[in-house]
Chain A
Amino acid sequence: MSAKWRVWLGGILLAAVIGAALYFPALRRQVEKARNLTEKTAEQARRELLPPVPVNSGEPRVKAKMFWGSAANDGTLMPVTVELPLSSDPTLRAKEILNTLLAGPVDPEARTLPPDAALLGFYILPDGTAVADFSETLASSIPSGIQSEQLAVDSIIRTLQANVPKVERLKILIHGQEVDTLAGHVDLTQTFQVNRLGSEPTRPGVSDVLTAPIKKAIEKVKGATKRQ
């Protein structure tokens, strides 16, 4: 090989090395960025598919009382006051409150609901009975046990009780369906008493005597869930 060609070849190699030195860090940054994007959990992706709860920014921020687990891990709930822009509409307000509860407290140990669970729908009937439809992950990701399931349900009930006076009773559905238990222990066939406003007390087994409006609401939730 002549000296001229050696110079050309050397020059090309040098240019390739310099090019690679400049290009590879940029490429690595792009790969990292792409990986971060694809590492979004299935839950995040599913949340994006759900219709967003409209937040009425015109509403003043009010102090809301959320019930999360106590730091002592003793199976009790502790009220935590947070400031939220809450709607005056009871249904929207309940959705905002429950989504905040699902988002969880600062201390992840104080969570009462699984981080990947989501609220799929919420309705309030004229008689004050509310129907809350949660994603399947509420049942599948919650730690199995009476204490943990009771804590989850209690945190929902007490948080609604403290912030949405219009809700008198609550029926919990999982992915649009009535289920026997949350995760094998706590009975979800009943409606739970939230705020007592002069109505008759609830009792287990009430699903057998569900009134027509409640049945209609459950059918509505089932229909909405199928469409999602």
Chain B
Amino acid sequence: MNIVVLDPAHGGIDLGARGTEGIHESDVVQQFAAQVRRALEGLGFQVIQTRDGNENPSFDDRSARANAQRGAIFITLHIASTGLAGTVRTYVLPETVSVRDPSGLIPWDQAQAPFVPLSRKLGDLVQTEFAKRFKGSPDTAQTAPVRQLRTTAAPAIAVEISSVSVEERADLDRMIPGVAEAIAHGVAAFRPSYVVPAMPGTPLAAQP
């Protein structure tokens, strides 16, 4: 595993969460993504972003960037409207029944199902790093049916930072280095344990 697909959420006409002083989620997540990218590249990871500018790819297009890679992980970045300011939460999909069609293929809309245990591990490692840096953040990853994660065939987590409701934009900017460092450390800790689940046509699981 050497590829991280980084997804700054929203974009284009979809501004995402909107806060005081004209803070837009779609704009702020790009700044977070830029720093997370630098931190990951500093540890030797190759980073692919789902958007570099103000575009708004569909959920499926964003997932496709990760699904086209073998052995990648996927991180979608969000800023919340609510929540305790200065905290960060990591979300993974709940455990789901993995269904394959008669040919052994996993349906696109259930692509995440075989990866949920790995996503949980990645999420917990990243959330542990957040808890060290941002007081009031949970110790472990939370589960939520996040749409973006469902179609992603890779260990996938959603990171949500609270919030656009801060008094000043500078409060969010101060969180950027800590968030970047936490994600990079969590991903680096996850790398040795990443074994790609066996897929149709592959008799054994591929080793990292």
Contact = CB atoms under 8 A, between A and B. Distances in A.
Interface of A: 73-75, 143-148, 150, 153, 180-181, 184-187, 189-190, 200-201, 203-205, 208
A73 B82 contact: yes
Given A185-B78, A205-B150, A208-B109, 18 more contacts: A74-B84, A74-B136, A75-B84, A143-B17, A145-B163, A146-B89, A146-B160, A147-B162, A153-B145, A181-B147, A185-B147, A186-B146, A186-B147, A189-B109, A203-B110, A204-B93, A204-B110, A204-B113
B186 interface: no
B150 A204 contact: yes
Shortest Cβ-Cβ A-B pairs, 3 listed: A143-B81, A145-B80, A205-B109
A148 B110 contact: no
A184 B10 contact: yes
B13 interface: no
Given A145-B80, A146-B91, A187 B150 contact: yes
Interface string B79-121: 1111110000101010011010000000101101100000000
Contacts of A201: 97
B16 interface: yes
B14 interface: yes
Contacts, number: 95
A187 B147 contact: yes
B134 interface: no
Contact of B14 (A184, A190, A200, A204): A184
- Chain B interface size band reads 35 or more
Contact of B84 (A73, A150, A187, A190): A73
Nearest to B161: A145
Contacts of B83: 73-75, 145, 147-148
Interface of B: 9-10, 14, 16-18, 25, 59, 78-84, 89, 91, 93, 96-97, 99, 107, 109-110, 112-113, 136, 142, 144-148, 150, 158, 160, 162-163
B97 A146 contact: no
Contacts of B107: 205, 208
A203 B116 CA distance: 12
A7 B59 CA distance: 85
A190 B145 contact: yes
Nearest to A143: B81
B110 A147 contact: no
